[in-house]
């Protein structure tokens, strides 16, 4: 330590960086954390948390009509976007403040400003000079990726600006068919915005189970989202009446806002990683081993900047494993298998383990259990929304390889299912679990008949 100003210098105060910094500082190590924006990172400031508030706000619109079906007299509701945004900003400021206090309470020192590596140990902090760190953790996250081949892209926003729009648009076009595009499409549609998704692929949510993908797309369409598949946006024209999106099939869509959500790129540009000798992948992600160590032995990286599984809880676990290994003397890796994820569409998706297609590819013969149904809350008032549950089971061992749910509470349900799947639960063990009645989730433990996909059924 004699040659160094600190034991650990963390670049980026997001989920992964903050967790690692706090755990390292609590061992008595001298830890500095640099943040050029606000403490909390993507999740707290411009991602999961404000997005969830927007989902809550959006979902309430359906509650008014549901309430009428349940006997309530509900006057015509109206929504005040600026009031919601102000309340959301207050809450985000409160949460960011908690992150700051947690760092301080752990004994870590926060440095406001952009940090750039000059070499493997030397960090320069904008306007504050240089210092030498024994260990460096890069936790700078990702940034929205905007294409450069779309004429008029300067008229489009990313999800980051969507959190701060001065007014709610009347019409929006959302480009992309992934997590962010679909979550925001659901949010805007729920708030009464005429919403169109434009996606290049044959279906949304690539990587998820095919039945889930189709079911989500159908449900979103039914909820009023227009989903245009197999097309790309080639041009955005700005005129006196707003924006016109021109697609590569010639279709023109009028809009007040156009939001691009075509993925996020690791934030590694201009950080001095080249000067420090840190190896990057072709997409700019920091290459790391199972211990999140880079090719430079005093530099580690965790979270979205490494582009492994880009989810907040994963970044936290990677940051935690790093701190345990390097500061608590307990070598620890995070297991990236069987990580559950949720997409906060309306209805939402919860998914853990393999899709049917991946399971067939890896295991050959699999059994499928699948149910689609209108939950009792819907049937009571004549609602049309349908839930879907699906299990993918290895035929020989009967181990459950994948569990997929589309339902309003799917993210809550899948958290519990993930425990069982992570423990290697088999279908007979799963079935021995008694149902909780009346719930939507009970359907998961009462499926006894194997599902025969239509194509296989015809062949048989
Ligand atoms: P995704 O990778 O989920 O989706 C990107 C979408 O953009 C895909 O539909 C992709 O199509 C499309 N796309 C990519 N390149 C092009 C292109 N050149 N032209 C047209 N379409 C293109 O990224 P997101 O931005 O939605 O989210 C980033 C990450 O953030 C997610 O992967 C996830 O890890 C995380 N996240 C997690 C959330 C959660 O946990 N609920 C919420 C939000 C984000 P194709 O499928 O054909 O490749």
Between the CA of 179 and the centroid of ligand 1 the distance, in Å, is 6
Give pLDDT, residue 190.
Answer: 98
Tell which atom from ligand 1 comes closest to the C-alpha of 179: 26
Per-residue pLDDT tens digits for 217-248 = 999 999 999 999 999 999 999 999 999 999 99
Q: Which of 196, 214, 193, 218 is nearest to 205 (CA)?
A: 214
Q: Is a pLDDT exceeding 80 seen at residue 269?
A: yes
Q: Which of 262, 291, 313 is the last residue of a domain?
A: 262
Give 404 Cα–ligand 1 centroid separation in angstroms.
Answer: 19
Neighbouring residues of 295: CB distance < 8 A, sequence distance ≥ 6: 277, 278, 279, 287
Residue 134 shares a structural domain with residue 235 = no
Ligand 1 atom with the shortest distance to the CA of 261: 25
* N-term to C-term CA, the chain: 71
441 pairs with which residues across the strands?
Answer: none
**CATH code (residue 451):** 3.30.390.30
With respect to residue 438, please indicate whether it lies within any of the assigned structural domains. yes
**What average pLDDT does the segment 287-313 reach?**
98
CA 372, CA 215: separation in Å to the nearest integer?
9
pLDDT tens sequence across 99-137: 999 999 999 999 999 999 999 999 999 888 999 999 999
Residue 196 phi/psi, 5-degree rounding, is: -125, 130
Residue 139 has what DSSP assignment? -
Which of 262, 280, 311 represents a domain boundary (last residue)?
Answer: 262
- Kindly report the number of other CB atoms within 10 A of residue 436's CB atom: 10
CB burial of residue 82 (10 Å; 0-12, 13-18, 19+): exposed
Q: Is 453 a residue whose pLDDT tops 80?
A: no
> Other CB atoms closer than 10 Å to residue 244's CB: what's the count?
18
Residue ranges around ligand 1 (CB below 6 Å): 147, 176-181, 183, 199-201, 206, 232, 261-264, 310-311, 341-344
Asked whether residue 459 carries a pLDDT value surpassing 80, the answer given is: no
Residue 1 within a domain = no
114 and 165 part of one domain: no
Pair 138, 179 in one domain: no
246 plus 282 within the same structural domain: no
Per-residue pLDDT tens for 73-89? 999 999 999 999 999 99
On whether residue 336 sits in a domain, the answer given is: no
- For atom 9 of ligand 1, which residue has the closest CA? 177
Q: How far is residue 38's CA from residue 47's CA, in Å, rounded to a whole number? A: 13
What backbone torsions phi and psi does residue 316 show, to the nearest 5 degrees? -65, -45
pTM of the predicted model as reported, rounded to 2 decimal places:
0.96
- Asked whether residue 335 is domain-assigned, the answer is no
Report how far ligand 1's centroid is from the alpha carbon of 176 (Å).
7
Place of tokens 């880009």: 310
Q: Tell whether 126 and 36 lie within a shared domain.
A: yes
Distance CA 109, CA 75 (A): 52
Domain assignment present for 392? yes
- Mean pLDDT for 349-375 is 97
Q: Does 75 share its domain with 132?
A: yes
Asked if the model's pLDDT at residue 460 lies above 60, the reply is no
CATH number, domain of 107, equals 3.50.50.60
In this prediction, residue 452 carries a pLDDT of: 84
Q: Same structural domain for residues 294 and 345?
A: no
Q: Do residues 320 and 398 both lie within one domain?
A: no
Which ligand 1 atom lies nearest to the CA of residue 180?
26
Same domain, 249 and 314: no
Domain assignment present for 333: no
pLDDT for the residue numbered 457: 53
Which residue stretches of 202-355 are H helix? 210-222, 312-327
275 and 403 part of one domain? no
Number of domains composing the chain? 3
Which atom in ligand 1 lies closest to the alpha carbon of residue 233?
20
| Domain-located, residue 222 | yes
Neighbour count for residue 333 (Cβ, 10 Å): 15
Does residue 440 share a domain with residue 365?
Answer: yes
Ligand 1: centre distance to CA 263 (Å): 4
The reply to whether 437 belongs to the active site is yes
Domain co-membership, 251 together with 288:
no
- List, in order, residues 6 or more apart from 235 with CB less than 8 Å away: 150, 151, 152, 245, 246
Of the candidates 112, 267, 437, 451, the residue annotated as catalytic is 437
Domain boundary among 277, 304, 327: 327
What ranges make up the beta strands (E) of 186-338?
194-199, 226-229, 233-239, 242-247, 252-255, 257-260, 264-266, 299-301
For 44, the domain range is 6-144+265-327
Is there a domain that residue 332 lies in? no
């Amino acid at each position: 330590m004699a040659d160094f100003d600190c034991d650990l210098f963390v670049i980026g105060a997001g989920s992964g960086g903050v967790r690692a910094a706090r755990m390292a500082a609590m061992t008595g190590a001298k830890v500095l954390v640099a943040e050029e924006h606000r403490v909390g990172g993507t999740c707290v400031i411009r991602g999961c948390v404000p997005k969830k508030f927007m989902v809550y706000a959006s979902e309430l619109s359906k509650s008014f009509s549901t309430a009428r079906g349940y006997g309530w007299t509900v006057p015509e509701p109206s929504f005040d976007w600026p009031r919601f945004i102000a309340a959301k900003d207050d809450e985000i400021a409160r949460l960011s403040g908690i992150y700051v206090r947690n760092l301080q309470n752990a004994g870590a020192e926060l440095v406001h400003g952009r940090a750039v590596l000059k070499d493997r140990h030397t960090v320069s902090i904008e306007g504050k000079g240089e210092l030498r760190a024994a260990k460096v953790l890069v936790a700078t996250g990702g940034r929205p990726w905007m294409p450069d081949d779309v004429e008029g892209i300067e008229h489009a926003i990313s999800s980051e600006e969507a959190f701060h729009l001065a007014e709610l648009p009347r019409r929006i076009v959302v480009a992309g068919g992934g997590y962010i595009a679909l979550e925001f499409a659901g949010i805007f549609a729920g708030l009464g915005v005429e919403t169109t998704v434009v996606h290049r692929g044959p279906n949304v949510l690539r990587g998820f189970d095919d039945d889930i993908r189709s079911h989500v797309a159908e449900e979103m369409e039914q909820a009023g989202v227009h989903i245009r598949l197999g097309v790309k946006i080639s041009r955005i024209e700005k005129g006196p009446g707003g924006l016109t999106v021109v697609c590569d099939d010639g279709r023109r869509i009028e809009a007040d806002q156009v939001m691009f959500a075509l993925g996020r790129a690791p934030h590694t540009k201009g950080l001095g990683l080249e000067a420090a000798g840190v190896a990057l992948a072709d997409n700019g992600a920091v290459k790391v081993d199972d211990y999140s160590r880079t090719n430079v032995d005093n530099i580690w990286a965790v979270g979205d900047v490494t582009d492994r599984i880009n989810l907040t809880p994963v970044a936290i676990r990677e940051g935690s494993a790093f701190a345990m290994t390097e500061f608590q003397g307990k070598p620890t890796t995070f297991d990236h298998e069987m990580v559950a994820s949720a997409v906060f569409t309306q209805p939402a998706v919860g998914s853990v383990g393999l899709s049917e297609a991946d399971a067939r590819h890896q295991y050959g013969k699999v059994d499928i259990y699948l149910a689609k149904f209108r939950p009792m809350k819907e049937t009571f008032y004549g609602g049309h929304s349908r839930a879907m549950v699906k299990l993918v089971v290895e035929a020989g061992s009967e181990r459950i390889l994948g569990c997929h749910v589309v339902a309003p509470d799917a993210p809550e349900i899948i958290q519990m299912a993930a425990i069982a799947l992570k423990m290697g639960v088999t279908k007979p063990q799963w079935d021995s679990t008694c149902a909780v009645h009346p719930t939507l989730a009970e359907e998961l433990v009462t499926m006894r008949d194997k599902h025969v996909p239509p194509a296989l059924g015809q062949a048989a």
